[in-house]
Amino acid sequence: MNADNPSCRSVSPADLFDLKLVSDPQISPCGTEAVLVVQRSSVVKNAYFSNLWLTSVDGTQVRPLTHGDQSDSAPRWSPDGAAILFSSNRGEKSGLWRLPREGGEAEPLIQIEDAAIGEFVSLRDGSALYFTLRATPPWSRKTVVEERKQARKSTPPLVVNRLSYRMEAGGYFGEELWRLMRLDLGSAGAEPVGIIALDRDVQSFDVNAEGDRIAFTCGSGPDPDLNLQLEEICVLDVASGEIRTLCAPAGPKGGVRWSPDGRKLAYLAHTDTRDAWSGIDSHLWVFDLDSAESRDLMAELDRPAGDCTLADLCSFGAGFPFQWSADSRSLFSLVSDRGASHLYRIPTDGAGPVNLTSGFEGVISGVSVAADSSQAVIVAGGPMRPNDVHRLGLAAESTVWTQLSDLNAGWLASRTVRPATEVLCPSPEGPVHGWLILPEGDGPHPMVLYIHGGPHTQYGRSMVFEFQCLAAAGLAVLYTNPRGSRGYGGAHSDAIRGDWGGPDYRDLMAAVEHVAARHDIDDNRLGVTGGSYGGYMTNWIVGHTNRFRCALTQRSVTNLHSMGGTCDFNFSDTPYFGGNTWADPQNLLRQSPLMYAAAVETPLMILHSEGDLRCPIEQAEQWYAALKRLGKQVEFVRYPREANHGLSRSGPPDLRLDRLERILGWFRRYLVTAD
């Protein structure tokens, strides 16, 4: 990691697959150890595998618990701490497994070939498991597909009767819903049983300590697919089957959790019901079942709950949402703030949130707090190192950090990782916060502006492997959080409502000019790139300025008008953009980069995947066709259906490597080797 160490070499794209990625820590009931997930890559098998590891909280040992080429995930301790329950695809089936704490052979609790398993919760007495399950549509089940192949028959048509019949990374599921299931563990060979029959998905859920009530979130109204921002909390009485809807404020809701005393329900929510695009931050709320009242526990903290940071070495939005203290008097939650994420203690009595990791210059993506709230095991990283596991002492007035793992020590010791310098750039709407990575050697350096997706996310103080690859190729990398980004207050993130390409564009261009004038940057060798909304902004930029020598747009949006019917969730575009595809489409067209294709003079590469259901490939097809017909300098790289919207973070290793090499090749061509 030390640039002055002669044994270090520059980071290369293939180095990505030598990293171990850690996530989802879970501290044991007794608080002496924690189980976690460690992912690795296999270039030979072109796949990712994950296993469970165990670490002692005193840091004396870190060791693997499971082995083999499968994906073990979502570990949860049994209530007595004697075993670990986890999800796995062993045997090419979705399943829940149980592993003795001391190790040995894991035993299957349930294996289902044609279904996906979501959340699961164990009863305190260990007698049963509750979990969510979504069956594979009949036409795509394994045996049915094999029978069709043998009979030389075609795939039958998919009959669609609902708006939400496909989802990015989930594929096409048709009419199948997420259902709540129960599995009794007391008798051998028990089969899972459906608990409730709803005409909508069961989303997050939790079971109270006594096991007699289940709280869950679900869609609201006659067509929940149409109004994703209208969700409700329901409570099921297990004995009677009666379902009661709580009178919580309208708005999106998720992550519902019972307090240990059973008198409250905590959940993530906000009350902006205008649309599913909302830039309004989600906060931690509590519903008091005695008073039937909800309260926003973060009303005085103008920041979003959870980790909103985008990076390529961890999954976005995964892991720890929040956790109750044992006395039901407070909650622990992550909060995103100016590119970092911190652990907060949030009392339920209105005393106000307390930052437990103030001064931490990194991103916390996973937390598990001990039963007595005296300590936590966290997964955290920084701009120059991937995530590792740490112990955080919470009993003292000031928290004490102890690093428990160093899974990539050898990797870091042999590669040169470049530091990120914080920058604050003036802009007409106010300062723009970001970071600049400079390559080794003397400048002036060519520079790439990298724009994050979302748009309502943040770049932050975590290591982005791709940025290190660009720096190793001799390129400076500027990445910022313009208007629309989270972590800077609700007004900041909601500032681009109905005006993509307005305040955000001005922020980005102001940051480029500020950095180019004050740092060792070659003002004539600038490039721009980004994915998803970042791809949208790349397209918008090249249609409105010739400031950049080249551009590269990834999984992008080009035509908001057509995306209104082809995106997997964009069904509430009218309030956000002020129009839809059949009525008042002027704003959608005005804000579509496709409308400005004739003005593009910047050489452009388009990267897009055929399996992308979030920003369908028709967006890239329209953009390429328009630019090609206009005689522009454009190249279109179509990745196959094996790749989806998450190619940069979770795509097949060989295609992910191809993508990185093409990006480096494009910018080398125009910014490094060009005169």
Convert the pLDDT of each residue in 99-125 to its tens digit: 999 888 899 999 998 999 999 999 999
HSE toward the beta carbon, residue 584, CA cutoff 13 A: 8
Phi, psi of 662 (to 5 degrees): -70, -40
Rg of the chain (C-alpha set)? 25
pLDDT (mean) for 368-375: 95
Say if residues 469 and 257 touch (Cβ distance below 8 Å): no
Convert the pLDDT of each residue in 271-295 to its tens digit: 998 887 778 999 999 999 999 999 9
Strands ordered across the beta sheet of 213-219? 202-207, 213-219, 231-237, 243-245
Identify the pLDDT of residue 218.
96
Q: Write the DSSP symbol of residue 667.
A: H
To 10 degrees, what angle do helices 503-518 and 533-542 make?
70
Convert the pLDDT of each residue in 210-256 to its tens digit: 999 999 999 998 889 888 888 999 999 999 999 999 999 999 999 99
pTM, rounded to two decimals:
0.96
Rounded CA separation 638/654 (Å): 14
pLDDT (mean) for 439-462: 96
- Residues contacting residue 254 through CB under 8 Å, at least 6 positions apart: 203, 204, 217, 231, 267, 268, 269, 282, 321
- Residues contacting residue 15 through CB under 8 Å, at least 6 positions apart: 411, 415, 465
Beta strands in 283-394 (DSSP E): 283-288, 293-296, 322-324, 330-337, 340-347, 354-355, 363-369, 375-382, 385-393
Q: What is the CATH number of domain 411-672?
A: 3.40.50.1820
Is the model's pLDDT at 311 over the cut of 80?
Answer: yes
Say if residues 58 and 27 touch (Cβ distance below 8 Å): no
Tell the burial category of 419 from Cβ atoms under 10 Å away from its Cβ (0-12, 13-18, 19+): middle
3-state SS string for 246-271:
CCCCCCCEEEEEECCCCCEEEEEECC
Is the model's pLDDT at 413 over the cut of 60?
Answer: yes
Average model confidence (pLDDT) across the chain? 94
Say if residues 29 and 79 touch (Cβ distance below 8 Å): yes
Beta strand 445-451 with 521-531: parallel, antiparallel or unpaired?
Answer: parallel
Say if residues 461 and 437 touch (Cβ distance below 8 Å): no
